[in-house]
A = this chain, B = another copy of it.
Amino acid sequence: MSLPRIAIDAMGGDEGVRTMIDGAAMARRRHDRFQFLLVGDETRIKAALADHPGMSGASEILHCEDVVEGDEKPSRAIRRAKTTSMGLAVDAVKRGEAGAAVSAGNTGALMAMSKLALRTMPGVDRPALAALLPTLGENDVIMLDLGANRDCDARNLVQFAIMGAAYSRIVTGLERPRTRLLNIGTEENKGTEDIQNAAETLRAATGLSMEFEGYVEADKINRGDCDVVVHDGFSGNIALKAIEGTARFVTDLLRRAFTSSVRSKVGFLVSRPATELLKHHLDPNNHNGAVFLGLNGVVVKSHGSADARGVANAVEVAARLLEDDITNRIARDLREVNTEGFNAK
């Protein structure tokens, strides 16, 4: 079976070309049928490829010297879409030369370029940014939207729920992922009117490929009893960053506690396998790769400061979504849902 290849924006991100190429090579060792279109400065890409002989037969280079800056305004970046590594990687998806694009560059610019080039798929009003987070349960939880849309109406939230559940089915293998709307309480009268209306629509809907289970509060996101958490981009940003910051805060406290006495240091050394497990579980590189769902094509955002392992994870997310054809899954799910006032305009 011939799979569409993955376009890599080799120039975006803080870690440079080598990290992106090392990451792609690492991912290919696990998904060895994948091909790559490496977009960026040819000389630097070739230098990085020298370390990965297996990659040369699997990659094509698209030379380009321009890069979208980390602080560049999306409105400016989209005018440079045809000359920047990010713009050309997305464009390759549009032209069918790649099935997915991966970039570690400026999120706002990547979102703007992707929307403009790929357009939202039929039945979807707005794309959403989705990411996986670790839980105490067996599976990761999917959170969306994480910043593509500051304000969302009920219709957007319902579509996000359907898109998130489709993504979860691919990642978890569950037939009906448990899906909830993020809210400030679990009673029906809690939260904004948009959240309440979205809940009402999902409760009344038939043909959903999920178990809709109402609201979830932010302290329950990572308990493992919920597979998809749906919110607008503002609340999602607050929740995700509070989670990331607190995980770092606790591990910083722990490091401080463990270095505060000789006895603790000895304890730390003896129990290193345990703390390594913790570190592994919380390392953002192991959960790297946020996906823009709802576009005609797959675009994955790798964290700007991700290392090669993080990039490999983002590339694998793209590979997984391509193998399981996320775009068609979402299209089919949208067609099968029956809800008043929701169906595609």
Contact = CB atoms under 8 A, between A and B. Distances in A.
Interface of A: 135-136, 147, 150, 182, 184, 191-192, 217-223, 233-235, 237-254, 257-258, 260-261, 263-264, 266-275, 277-278, 281-282
Contact of A222 (B240, B245, B272): B245
A150 B184 contact: yes
A221 B263 CA distance: 31
Given A219-B248, A246-B246, 4 more contacts: A217-B241, A221-B245, A238-B239, A260-B274
A273 B261 contact: yes
Contacts of A263: 270-271, 273
A252 B218 contact: no
A172 to B, nearest CB: 19
Contacts of A237: 184, 217-218
Number of copies: 2
A220 B192 CA distance: 26
A320 to B, nearest CB: 25
Contacts of A250: 246-247, 250-251, 278, 282
A144 to B, nearest CB: 15
A281 B242 CA distance: 18
Nearest to A272: B267
Contact of A271 (B242, B246, B258, B281): B258
A217 B247 CA distance: 15
A153 B118 CA distance: 37
Contacts of A220: 245
A219 B245 contact: yes
A258 B275 CA distance: 8
26 contacts: A182-B238, A184-B238, A217-B237, A217-B241, A218-B237, A218-B240, A219-B242, A223-B249, A239-B239, A239-B242, A242-B243, A246-B246, A247-B249, A247-B250, A253-B278, A253-B281, A254-B278, A258-B274, A260-B274, A264-B271, A267-B267, A267-B268, A267-B271, A268-B274, A270-B271, A271-B271
B234 A192 contact: yes
Given A242-B221, A248-B219, A260-B274, A234 B184 contact: yes
A230 B281 CA distance: 31
B267 A274 contact: yes
A217 B70 CA distance: 18
Contacts of A260: 273-274, 277
Contact of A238 (B235, B267, B270, B272): B235
A274 B245 contact: no
A9 to B, nearest CB: 22
Contacts of A217: 237, 241
Nearest to A237: B184
A147 B184 contact: yes
B249 A136 contact: yes
Contacts of A245: 218-223, 243
Given A242-B239, A282-B250, A270 B273 contact: no
